[in-house]
Amino acid sequence: MIPAQFDYVRPTTVEEAIQALRDGGDDAKLLAGGQSLLPVLRLRMADPSLIIDLGGIPELKGVREEGNEVVVGAMTSHYDVTRDDTLRQHVALIQEATKTVADPQVRHKGTLGGALAHADPAGDLAAPALALDAQFVIAGPSQDGSGTGTRTVGAADFFEDYFTTAIGEGELLTEIRFPKYTGWGARYEKFNRVAQAWSIVAVAATVKVDGGTISDARIGLTNMAGTPVRARAVESALVGQSATEENVRKAAQAAAEGTSPTADADAGSDYREHLARVLTGRAVLAAAG
């Protein structure tokens, strides 16, 4: 099927995009890479009257270092994330997870910001963003309504529910700021049925190992609730332990604590809890290896 009719604008600055959102009202929709939005439009699950294409705004693309952070423009493609040397060195976990998103064609066009703003609970990038304590920079109308301002939201507050984020009416995500995790090991362990399928459950783990001992650990779970979940009980159980298989598997037993996984045709809730424990063990061991 083809999408229902809509008007189309392609702003060249964030300010123009905010203005277009203001003009378009409730019925405007932002187009990033389009790899979730286009299928939705084609299935007629949405029929916005205005599409605002963010593809022509140079300031939204690219990766840069700023002090102790790595800043990724929201319109940076998955493909560019997977190839970026700065991310490889300082934020390996987001790169490892991005390599598993969909398939090569989708990664060429899809964007980090688009995927995070879409906030599909089975999407692969929210859990690493949460584990890494990413900060989300959101642009919108300024308080007095005369211009444009920005605000920053932490990952723990950004993901609110299924397909729901802290991005409000008239706002757009401009960049994602990651603290540096230089020298940390990272692994995204994903369980799905067939190639290019969504994660049934996946685990994003990054750990710091000093002389064989885990000195810090961050773990995020994909598809274990409507939003990504931090496996904090596992994180604290790991710190101070030597990175042996026995220790890691024991700590990973707490991985499903505080989760509320769905049940669907792929897996029941208890099976998802089992997967979270098994995949957490695998991910931490690989990250520590």
Partner 1 sequence: MARIRTTVDGLVYEDDVEPRMLLVQYLRERLGKTGTVIGCDTSNCGACTVHLDGLSVKSCSVLAVQANGSEVLTIEGLERDGQLHPMQQAFHDNHALQCGYCTPGMIMQSIDLLGENPDPSEQEIREGIEGNLCRCTGYQNIVRAVQDAASKMKPGASATADSGAKQTVAGGGA
Name the segment binding partner 1 (CB under 8 A); options: 50-58, 59-67, 256-264, 281-289.
Answer: 50-58
Strand-pairing partners, residue 150, are 139
- Decide: is 30 part of the binding site for partner 1 (CB under 8 A): no
- Decide: is 1 part of the binding site for partner 1 (CB under 8 A): yes
- Closer CB to partner 1, 41 or 126, in the complex: 41
Q: Measured between alpha carbons, how far is 272 from 26 in angstroms, rounded to an integer?
A: 37
Site for partner 1 in 234-263 (CB under 8 A): none
Strand-pairing partners, residue 173, are 138
Name the segment binding partner 1 (CB under 8 A); options: 16-24, 106-114, 238-246, 253-261.
Answer: 106-114
- Decide: is 58 part of the binding site for partner 1 (CB under 8 A): no
Q: How far is the CB of 104 from partner 1 (least distance, A)?
A: 6
C-beta separation of 184 from 208 below 8 A: yes
Q: How far is the CB of 138 from partner 1 (least distance, A)?
A: 24
The pairing of strands 135-141 and 172-179 is antiparallel
- Decide: is 85 part of the binding site for partner 1 (CB under 8 A): no
Select the residue interacting with partner 1 from 11, 24, 34, 128 (CB under 8 A). Answer: 34
C-beta separation of 172 from 18 below 8 A: yes
The residue written with tokens 């996984």 in the block is: 261
- Decide: is 223 part of the binding site for partner 1 (CB under 8 A): no
Q: How many residues bind partner 1 (CB under 8 A)?
A: 30
- Closer CB to partner 1, 55 or 62, in the complex: 55
Going through the chain in order, the beta strands assigned E by DSSP cover 7-9, 28-31, 50-53, 63-66, 69-73, 135-141, 148-154, 159-161, 164-165, 172-179, 185-191, 201-210, 213-222, 229-230
Q: How far is the CB of 111 from partner 1 (least distance, A)?
A: 13
Q: How far is the CB of 90 from partner 1 (least distance, A)?
A: 23
- Closer CB to partner 1, 13 or 49, in the complex: 49
Phi and psi at 193, nearest 5°, equal -85, -45
- Decide: is 226 part of the binding site for partner 1 (CB under 8 A): no
List Cβ<8 Å contacts ≥24 apart for 35-43: 35/102, 35/106, 35/109, 35/110, 35/114, 36/110, 36/114, 36/115, 36/118, 36/120, 37/114, 37/118, 38/3, 41/3, 41/4, 42/1, 42/2, 42/3, 43/1
- Decide: is 23 part of the binding site for partner 1 (CB under 8 A): no
Name the segment binding partner 1 (CB under 8 A); options: 105-113, 127-135, 228-236, 244-252.
Answer: 105-113
* Residues at the contact surface with partner 1, assessed by CB under 8 A: 1-8, 10, 31, 34-35, 38-39, 41-43, 51, 53, 55, 79, 102-106, 108-109, 195-196
